[in-house]
Amino acid sequence: MAPILQPVRGTRDLIGEDAARHFHVTETARRITSLYGFSEWQTPIFEDTKVFSRTLGETSDVVTKEMYSFEDRGGDSITLRPEGTASIARALITGGLTQTLPQKVFYTGPMFRYERPQKGRYRQFHQIGVELLGPATPLADAEVISAGWRILQELGISETVELQINTLGDARSRANYRAALVEYFSAHADKLSEDSKTRLEKNPLRILDSKDEGDKQLVANAPLIGQHLTEEAASFYAGLKSALTAFGVPFTENPHIVRGLDYYNHTAFEFVTTALGAQGTVLAGGRYDGLVEQMGGPNVPGVGWAAGIERLSMLIAAPPAKALPVTIIPMNNEAEPQALAILTQFRAADIAAEIGYTGNAKKRLERANKSGATFAVLVGDGLKLKNLTDGSQADLTPAQLIAALTP
């Protein structure tokens, strides 16, 4: 016997309740974002490697350690997408949509990162996300955040999460902040990790995201960007907080939320929870006004977020089970053509229905009872609708059956 083949490490099958939870998260997000005016886009699962290396940073951990990149048969470098925003920005440019703004985009699908598999984290994982491209106002940021909050409410988990926000300032604020960080970390360079010593020269803001314990101790006492905001940046941040309050979205301020890439500015936010053990992020995003231009397009402001479906699925209650299909049971071989005709009529009327493939009428009825189905239609000398819960049955015409079983 051939050995049983197993799923690749860091991947899993979505079957049964896992699939139901996944579907519920996706459909809830799809429904809510449509209420906010977002349209769904689907981008390819793989892209030119430059789509991600250019936007995520050549020296980032994602690019250097986590991307699934390979050379295809034509010699081109291809990467399985590790995140969705860069693909949406690329699609905006190549789709010729930069002159048709705003664009409000919802997306969902698998992403790929080579990292250590753990609870709620896989090498093939799935995300929902939104991007609002065009407006450069705090109201746009607040609306994007509000859509995420509404999704969490609809999923029944808003009581277990907290929205934390921060500002990254404008370009001048960040230049001032960068200088302050260089001065601070340079005074402690001998205590920095090797990675952070490199970041100090290239992008000191990335030190603030370091996972090294020694770096974290230094970061705890590092200068905060709020001390270096321009008047315009402070005004934008105040507008965001005012709009969130108007939308009824509760929040706390966390000055340690940062984004290391230069195209991020102004708003950064995370919905965090302790319901999965240590504090973890379930939905996060921010404003990225320089991204589209960095990818070769015009200057198009943008703001958005992404959320991991696997993590959200672990937080929600089990979705209600779907009603099982009505079972069609031919009482003898001669009745099978009529049973198939009834089956076809039911499905055309949007009534979920199935038929047993083998066995006599008694065996088929036993299987229907064991399946937990509520109704069976017995096809033979006339048509009988049998209630499998209480055993009652009634003689009905095809039209009456359809009327009785229409949801």
128-147 pLDDT tens trace:
999 999 999 999 999 999 99
Model pLDDT, residue 258: 84
Domain ranges in the chain with CATH number 3.40.50.800: 326-405
Q: What are the pLDDT digits (tens) for 221-248?
A: 899 988 899 999 999 999 999 999 999 9
Which fold does the domain 326-405 belong to in CATH? Answer: Rossmann fold (3.40.50)
Q: What is the pTM of this model?
A: 0.89
Among 23-32, 36-45, 189-198, 331-340, the least confident range:
189-198
Which fold does the domain 17-170+230-315 belong to in CATH? Answer: BirA Bifunctional Protein; domain 2 (3.30.930)
Nearest 5°: the CA angle 311, 315, 318 is 115
Mean pLDDT computed over 303-320: 94
* Residue 121 in this model has a pLDDT that exceeds 90: no
Domain ranges in the chain with CATH number 3.30.930.10: 17-170+230-315
Alpha carbons 29 and 217: distance in angstroms, whole number: 38
* Residue 324 in this model has a pLDDT that exceeds 90: no
Q: Tokens standing for 318?
A: 């089990």
Nearest Cα to Cα of residue 374 among 386, 364, 362, 359: 386
How many Å is the maximal CA-CA distance in the chain?
92
